[in-house]
Amino acid sequence: MGIAGSDRRSVVIKALSAAGFAALGLPDRSLAQPAELPATPACEGHAAATPRQTEGPFFTPSSPQRADLRSDGSGTLLVLSGFVLTRQCRPIPGALLDFWHADTAGQYDNRGFRFRGHLFADQLGRYQFITRAPGLYTGRTRHLHVKVRAATQSPVLTTQLYFPDEPGNRRDSLFDAKLLMSLRRAEGGQLGRFDFVLAG
Ligand SMILES: [Fe+2]
């Protein structure tokens, strides 16, 4: 392998972003700029597994497979991308990621699948999806829910991802800074990055 792991990841994330945004048909070309975001957490040979968090009461199994969770209505676009990695920082091709989160008004769709969907990491362990940033609901800071699994028989990592610079982070007892996405604003939305590290 000619490029060190972290450099290689930076390169492929850039490639992923340009191609991925185009594939998603984002209307705003300014969002199609390559995302230069730091890995979260840094994975430099050995890494701690991504912390587990409670599933909460609103998980619905058998979500549709899709990388576009945008739904009707408005709200800040969020493009989240990253890797699924082993603790040795090796990518896990084909890993399953199942996301669910509240809508922009802070409501979960518990009858259907708005803002719910699963996707698979590609052959380089990369994933990317687009959604609208969730709204707030009482008692919680802004967050995404996710389950990640390396393969069908593998243990499931259930956790939550958090947004930087949210006032509610300080008041939410579940908040864990290790689960903060890297996030930057782009015209028309936000670009996020989070790398999952699976134990075992
Ligand atoms: Fe939640």
pLDDT in tens, 2-12: 334 444 444 44
Q: How far apart are CA 28 and CA 136, in angstroms?
A: 25
Mean pLDDT over all residues of the chain? 84
> From ligand 1's centre to the CA of 18, what distance in Å?
30
- Expressed in angstroms and rounded, the spacing between residue 139 Cα and the centre of ligand 1 is 10
Task: Kindly give, in sequence order, each residue whose CB lies less than 8 Å from that of residue 165, ignoring residues fewer than 6 positions away.
Answer: none
- Inter-CA distances, 70 with 39, 77, 119, 178, Å: 24, 8, 14, 26
Residues, CB-to-ion distance under 5 Å, ligand 1: 56
| Cis geometry, peptide bond prior to residue 41 (ω within 30 degrees of 0) | yes
**Residue 153 pLDDT:** 86
Residue pLDDT, tens place only, 122-173: 999 999 999 999 999 999 999 999 999 998 889 999 999 999 999 999 999 9
How sure is the predictor about 39, in pLDDT bands with cuts at 50, 70 and 90?
low
First to last CA, the chain: 24
66 or 74, greater pLDDT: 66
State the distance from the centre of ligand 1 to the C-alpha of 137, rounded, in angstroms: 8
Give all domains of the chain, ordered by start, each with its CATH number. Answer: 5-198 (2.60.130.10)
Residue-wise pLDDT tens digits, 75-131: 899 999 999 999 999 999 999 999 999 999 999 999 999 999 999 999 999 999 999
Question: Residues 29, 18, 65, 94: what is their CA dihedral angle, to the nearest 10 degrees?
Answer: -170
State in Å: Cα 134 to ligand 1 middle.
Answer: 9
Region 26-33: mean pLDDT is: 40
Q: Other CB atoms closer than 10 Å to residue 28's CB: what's the count?
A: 12
In this structure, the dihedral spanned by the alpha carbons of residues 70, 13, 127 and 153, taken in order and rounded to 10 degrees, is -170
